[in-house]
Amino acid sequence: MSYFSTRVPTWWSPDGTYHLSRDITLKPAKRTAYKNYPGAGSTMFFDTLNFITEAQTQEEHIGKLRQWALFHSFILDFPHLCYFFEEGRLRKHKLVKSEPKQSTKDAIKDNIGEKVYFLHPIPPRISYKALFQQYQSFTREQTSLLRAYLLPLNRHQAGMIYSLFDESRTYWQIAVYASVLEAIIGHASNCPGSVTTCPVCNKHLQPHREKSETDWRKSYLKPLIPDQVIRNEYLDVINTAYNEIRHPTAHAGAMPVPEYMLPEIGTTETYDTKRTIGEFPADWSALYSLLMSVKSVTRSILLNKLFQLNTFPKLLPLNVTTIGGIQPSSDTV
């Protein structure tokens, strides 16, 4: 049997050589500069780790890397790994001469709670290995949900001056997240009194639901999220994604084109959930804030669906500060 190794960017590494499974080992490596990423002339620095597998062929190793990359990207909210894989930046695979040995430490620290729920005041303890073991037993439906969430439609633009389709990509990305939410939340049962056949032409008719879609979502979230303030924010974001973004986007509706309304240099604008929902049709920063909010809500609900983590952090506002020129600096605090 042979061993292959590929160095990959990461946001978390174990603190020693770590046997993740029978045939996969993770080994921390040095921080690395990646040139021409995310675009030409740019450079980004990432921590790295060596992804090592026991495999008969390099193709088998790449197959294991492909499956692990999806898990690692989702759990750590680290989409760069998927980008690197698809852009051919992970093509250097080394043949390892001997089996990697587990570190001699008493226990490798693999609690990734703070990474999974970044900035959450009380993150739960989460074992990376335990989550990966769950992931390995996923059904096709579970894997499909994870892959749909990770599908990137809105990245690597050259900047807002040279953008033609920023808002369209953003609307479609929100629509993707909404489709994931719909697959998880589902719909209310059909009303038993629905007339399903036309008495004149015998054409099949669409039945109606027992309760409204909004009420159904509310009833789904209530047992999941005890905190009413957080639950209501999640519900407002979901309803906006469904009703104001997904439906008109998917059916080629005339979507608003927001403007870049930059704050004065040195000042900061804050977009909480209420402002985000109220201003996204006119203000690009509010639309971006909505994208981040829908993504956060979808990720928290999907983490619970797939891994039963039962943690639903408060949504963070978006702060936008103009520091000079015309390109705003955005962050969440």
Residue type, 22: R
Q: Say if 143 falls within a structural domain.
A: no
For the cut 80, the answer to whether the pLDDT of residue 11 exceeds it is: yes
Q: What is the mean pLDDT of residues 40-68?
A: 95
Say if residue 320 is in the same domain as residue 192.
yes
Res. 106 pLDDT band, cuts 50 70 90: low
Dihedral sign (CA 260, 288, 171, 189): negative
Say if residue 97 is in the same domain as residue 243.
no
Q: Say if 216 falls within a structural domain.
A: yes
Say if residue 154 is in the same domain as residue 286.
yes
Say if residue 191 is in the same domain as residue 58.
no
Q: Say if 154 falls within a structural domain.
A: yes
pLDDT for res 146: 97
Say if residue 191 is in the same domain as residue 291.
yes
Say if residue 212 is in the same domain as residue 323.
yes
For a pLDDT cut of 90, what percent of the chain falls above it?
Answer: 67
pLDDT for res 95: 92
Domain count, the chain: 2
Q: Say if 57 falls within a structural domain.
A: yes
Q: Can you give the residue range of the structural domain that contains 49? A: 2-109
Residue type, 288: Y
Token pair, residue 202, equals: 């015998």
**Which of 57, 80, 109 delimits the end of a domain?**
109
What is this structure's pTM?
Answer: 0.89
222 SS3 class: coil
CA 193 to chain centre: 40
Q: What is the pLDDT of residues 144-195, one digit of tens each?
A: 999 999 999 866 554 556 677 888 899 999 999 999 999 999 888 777 777 7
Residue type, 303: L
pLDDT for res 189: 79
To the nearest 5 percent, what fractions of the chain are helix, strand and coil?
A: 40, 15, 45
Q: Which of 37-46, 59-68, 235-244, 257-266 is predicted least confidently?
A: 257-266
CA proximity to 121, closest of 293, 312, 272, 317: 312
Say if residue 274 is in the same domain as residue 159.
yes
Dihedral sign (CA 172, 176, 178, 183): positive
pLDDT for res 107: 65
Q: Say if 120 falls within a structural domain.
A: no
CA proximity to 148, closest of 140, 136, 159, 137: 140
Angle between helices 284-307 and 166-185 (to 10 degrees): 30
Q: Where are the beta strands (DSSP E) in 94-238?
A: 94-96
Say if residue 42 is in the same domain as residue 166.
no
Q: Say if 115 falls within a structural domain.
A: no
Give the bridge partners for 2, in sequence order.
Answer: 55
Say if residue 65 is in the same domain as residue 159.
no
Q: Say if 222 falls within a structural domain.
A: yes
Say if residue 81 is in the same domain as residue 170.
no
Token pair, residue 187, equals: 């719909």
- Burial class, 89, CB count within 10 angstroms (exposed 0-12 / middle 13-18 / buried 19+): middle
- The rounded distance, in Å, linking the Cα atoms of 191 and 195 is 9
Token pair, residue 90, equals: 């992970």
Res. 324 pLDDT band, cuts 50 70 90: low
What's the CA angle centered on 160, arms 258 and 172, to 5 degrees? 55
Q: Which of 54-68, 149-163, 293-307, 310-324 is predicted least confidently?
A: 149-163
Say if residue 25 is in the same domain as residue 173.
no
For the cut 90, the answer to whether the pLDDT of residue 202 exceeds it is: no
For the cut 60, the answer to whether the pLDDT of residue 262 exceeds it is: yes
